[in-house]
Amino acid sequence: MGYQKVLVAVAVAADSQLLVQKAVSIVRPYNGQITLLSMVANPELYNSFAGPMLGDLRNLMEEETRLFLEQLRQQAGYPIADLLVVQGELGDGLIYANQQYSFDLVICGNHSDHLMNKLSCSAARFIDTSQADVLIVPL
């Protein structure tokens, strides 16, 4: 049995292409579907006195993320079913996406070299509550 519905959590970073390639290699033999998900940080966290500019900053960050996801889609060499941009924490975004679409596998990258960070990645809350398999790829 192969994975049919795979969610790939990516950051706006060059090494996200590695995660997409991993997903493609997993689903291609089974003609599975891939969905890309990326997080947008709340601009309120960066500048609490910006006032009206926060809406513009939020829109700009979301548009930049969507453009990056579209670029990953074009470079994948395999059809990407959907692109999701969510705000907040990664664990919450993964839980939300899995509730909406029910994935078989979730792929995340681990950018950390520190042992404690590897043991307690930001996807830990999702891993604890999910029925989906989770693949953590070292980057």
pLDDT tens-digit map of 88-122: 888 888 888 998 999 999 999 876 555 445 445 56
What pLDDT score does 28 carry?
Answer: 97
Residue 74 — pLDDT band, cuts 50, 70, 90?
very high
What pLDDT score does 115 carry?
Answer: 43
What pLDDT score does 131 carry?
Answer: 85
Which one, of 16, 40, 28, lies nearest residue 107 by Cα? Answer: 16
Enter the pTM of the model.
0.84
Residue 4 near residue 27, CB atoms below 8 Å: yes
Amino acid identity at 58: R
Residue 98 near residue 106, CB atoms below 8 Å: yes
